[in-house]
Structure 1
């Protein structure tokens, strides 16, 4: 124990981080704000880091104050320096009047102050979650039926058709209010009969695939703004997954900013625990839809039975979104997201191996293979991740014509 304490006392910093003078930093900030110097010149003249200087100047421009104290770590504080001083003065005053606060009362007071200073002041009626699901015109899931004990095979009457999948966009708030769904049909032209006996306010779109696209989601998002009555003075929070129609959509981001919609995307491979609709709504929807399809109750849609207030509220509660519960999950629940951080082997090694196999099978000329391998080496891509696999496959196009020609004369 004595050796450990001696080591701590004699510890020396290995970096020069934070060793600049606070007075020099103040003078450099003043020179930049007064437009007497640029960032680089002020940083060199007053011997301060340029990135730190830029951060403090931006803090004054946005917040009107500057804190030159070193941060305690990667986690930023909730209160500003001014707010912390106000809280300290209040504690001193209460103690002087013999009404000193305990640590539990201090935490409660700090929480009340944080809620009061909340930028968006979002309640459960301003927090929404949306998700897509596919519903087949012929139900795929079958409810359990009663049969004779000991029977190994139990049959049930079903449609002989394969059925078509219709995409349904569903949105619900933490208070339990449901937005009318949007249906995407796999067809070129829309027919009004397809919405017969649908839920009130249901909208529809058509495209060749029947899947969600960027344009269709923007159209739905504009309807969501009207439904939620979102504005810059009355912002709302929308939680969604990382689908390309959500994240790679510049028009969506612009419309959201103009109308006060704050969009937060779930981490990859975690929607089964964080998405309220996946947690509590999608399973009841499939069950009730199966019952409605079997009973042929076209006038009583399955979505109406599943869309009850308790289902939505329980979904947000189990995901820890509302009421907010950061201790709701353990690190093991998010291990699936780590797969996106795993690096694959160099793409050039993979392509060269594949070309050798193609040469052996189709007996392609060696000169052709060597030419392609040279192009691969010139465009070598070292260890890539799952999100970067599309571009290298362009090189394969050089050998595909030869393969297609051989397949035509040599069927497998």
Structure 2
């Protein structure tokens, strides 16, 4: 049986103590090696060349230099910021293409035209600001609307209307719909900056049978019983089994909300909150067509609540400006 060898069982602190003892003449080379447990050849090499950039490290040398790896990591982060994050296989393929383009010596697999998994994990270790994250599906409209100008304009308008009517936390509500499909395809993990709260990825859309829930909550933490919309032609009483108390269970041909159902939800909302012309509330909602182009909903809301409509954090639609 061949002898099992151990590499670098000494610490970095022991190494520099051994190098300092040998350079200062406190110990000879053999004694420094015995006292601190560092190989003689290692001590001699560090004494002869103490430049950290030129010190030999264990394992194979990196394919890319520090500047090229920095550019590669910045390119990965830039694509993720544009909602087109790279998967592990795509990063390995990119590394192979870069090495081939610049004629760099490498041991990547030329059959699969990808860098190896060991290179990827070593690359991640050297670039600790990267992490593997699971993105959330983000529509193209939301990706286009999320920019600094629109976000600042949104908060400017929100601040104006809150100061105008002196809304408190218990009078500010946010409503949104969430669709749940029976055929949910998970997205692959992509590389992003470590610590980032949300990672997005552009998706083509949802497939399968869809069920929608309309939920609302105010800034003080009060939840409104939701509206649950099933994709059916006829409403069956069994659909209400297990639903939250006081919630609305209804149906639509597509499983999505429509203008009539949104009007029903507004009536449900007013009944739960008891808002009136003397006790107005602020309702935040997105720019879905059932919200922004629903004239019946505008007539119902007149006098009992103020609407602040935003489309992917974009500007306030003019359809509501006449009622505000």
Shorter-chain TM-score above 0.5: no
**So what's the TM-score if we normalise by structure 1?**
0.31
Higher relative contact order (CA 8 A, sep 6+): 2
Point out the structure with the larger strand share. Answer: 2
* TM-score relative to the length of structure 2: 0.39
Specify which structure has the higher proportion of helix. 1
